[in-house]
Structure 1
Amino acid sequence: MPDHLSQAVQPAGTWAEATDSCTLTYDDRFLRRKVLHSDGGVSILLDLPKTTSLDHGDALLLEDGRLVEVIAAEEDLLRVSGDNLARLAWHIGNRHTPCQIAADHLLIQNDPVIGHMLEHLGATLDPVSAPFTPEGGAYGHGRTHSHEHGHTAHDH
């Protein structure tokens, strides 16, 4: 039996202080109902009304009012760079691959098939370990490979 229940998420930037944290990968931050284990060893039954994409810096609101901060875990990623970064980003997006965008590089999950395609397009790939917080797509935060769009007022 979990130690605590959370049925609500406080978006990043809307809360002040957390008493614990929960470090999750990108894939693990897409959920609705699941038992999570905080970094402090507390088990939490997360039971949200709909499937949600948790962002780094969000907080789980526990039934007693305490907050548990969501931390993006370090993951094995590919750092993508090249002369035509916009073209590389287009090909990544065309395959609905989550992508974190920086001024001089892109980060994607370490997918050998996508990596091979990018190398054929002239990309330089470097394996890295870093937190993964990809772009949320046209509707803001959330996943772009489904119709879940996280913390937006836009409903389909």
Structure 2
Amino acid sequence: MSKPERALEIRRGAGGQATDHVRLDYEGRFLRRKRLETAAGQAVLVDLPETVSLEDGDALVLEGGGLVGVIAEDEPLLAISSADLARLAWHIGNRHTPCRIEEDRLLIRDDHVLAAMLKGLGAQVRHVTEPFSPEGGAYGHGRTLGHSHGDDGHHHHEH
């Protein structure tokens, strides 16, 4: 294998101009420093100034000027449908669970506990395998680090 090329920045939406690509699942697209291997077998050392959330169609900019496209990898998801998607989306959001909101369904990562809860709320839940690109959130592009509501040393305060 050749010496890894460094990627020091990303270019949003430039994946279509790339000559090579990497396939990454949702977790894999959240990165700062990581060694990746492209479809063509090229090693790439991602070394970004801060952790970023890459989206399907973004590109890593190589030091030599080349682009490596980012493709969202298929992964196990739950497709949720119901006559009351807004209510179900609230329950999912209340658990800080990443969710893709579409007109006729919600998509979340496969989770048997959430599946049981949603079925209990009257949802139809199907297992699907497809790329996962959830909503970005209220503070712009990307995502926040999830957290539990257990005793983890930090507390939510009412204002």
TM-score when normalising by structure 2: 0.87
> Aligned Cα RMSD in Å?
1.4
Distance 1:2 1:83 in 2: 54
Structure 1: which amino acid aligns with 2:4?
D
Structure 2: which amino acid aligns with 1:69?
G
Aligned to 2:4: 3
Aligned to 1:151: none
Count of matched residue pairs = 145
Distance 2:65 2:71 in 1: 19
Aligned to 2:130: 130
Runs of 4+ in 1 over 4 A off after TM superposition: none
Does the CA-based 8 Å contact 1:4-1:62 persist in structure 2?
yes
Does the CA-based 8 Å contact 2:16-2:57 persist in structure 1?
no
Unaligned runs of 5+ in 2: 147-159
TM-score when normalising by structure 1: 0.89
Q: Where do residues 60-79 of structure 1 align in structure 2 (5 Å cutoff)?
A: 60-79=60-79
* Greater radius of gyration (CA): 2
Does the CA-based 8 Å contact 2:15-2:68 persist in structure 1?
no
SS in 1 for 2:97: coil
SS in 1 for 2:46: strand
Provide Cα deviations, 1:84-143, integer angstroms capped at 9, x if missing partner.
Answer: 000000000010000011100010000111111111111100000000000010012211
Shift of 1:25: 0.2
Aligned to 1:36: 36
* Percent of matched pairs sharing the same residue: 53
Distance 2:11 2:62 in 1: 10
